[in-house]
A and B are shown apart, each in its own frame.
Chain A
Amino acid sequence: MISIIKINSEKCKGCSLCIKACPKQCISFSKQFNKAGYHWAVLEKENSCIGCGFCYMICPDVCIEVYKDL
């Protein structure tokens, strides 16, 4: 089963809560800054995502979407 997350780079404030919450450690910071000046969160290890939704749950900016191949 393949899962991915999409993170809205402009809404993300780089708080890192999703990075900490991810049980598979597959999220990290972008190298670039967004318009607001934050390194946003990105799904670094695409193949590791299990679509558990923890990142979505803890994201205070509601900027993560979770997709799953059902």
Chain B
Amino acid sequence: MLELRNIDKTFHRGTVNEAPLFRNFSLHVSAGDFVSVVGSNGSGKTTLLNLISGTVPTDSGEIWLCGEDITRQAEYRRAVRIGRVYQDPAVGTVPGMTIYENLSVAENKNRRYTLGLMLNRRKYEEFRELVRTLGLGLEEKMNIPVGLLSGGQRQALSLLMSTMTPIDLLLLDEHTAALDPKTAEVIMELTDRIVREKGITAIMVTHNLRYAVEYGNRLLMFHQGGIVFSADGEKKKRTRVEDILTLFNEISVECGN
């Protein structure tokens, strides 16, 4: 499904601050996988997502998605098939537009943005029902600007918007990190449900080890641009938070943290 082949990535190349991150890095993700990625700061988790989504170019190596080489493809072209939810809930929605408007804009993703009218009253009830499935009471706030919603509500909406049209891959970039524990739990369950229902392949970067262990069928731990721990299938099911926490601490001590 997704394949990263021999990726090299160095930041600030050619300056005194040169920081090599990925050296000959490869990763294969199968269709339907839900991969949790953990690791310390600067271990390359977010850069991995940035490379896949095209926000950051690779120095060398190839990225393949569904049998197509997307290494040189522009970010917005990749976005047709790759959805992404960011840590900051403000990134995924348009603050000045209402929930109804946001969903209308997102729903039109695979069609052309022509001079036809955007809002279609017939869609209103459909969107209302869709929002109702979030279970956050947002169906009563369809005509309220999204900028007035709470972080959790906006994040739920971001999730909905990025998955309401068919996508091949969903990138979750610490998408619960800016939320309070209870809201984070709600968003996490929602994520799991949407990913399962739609059968989307997903890669989730998180600092929450419990989420990494509880959700998904594959777990990767990153350290200095490499994978230091990998578990899938039965091994993933047997992995407990304590196991990766111990490993995490060992690595941190190594680096002198």
A binds B: no
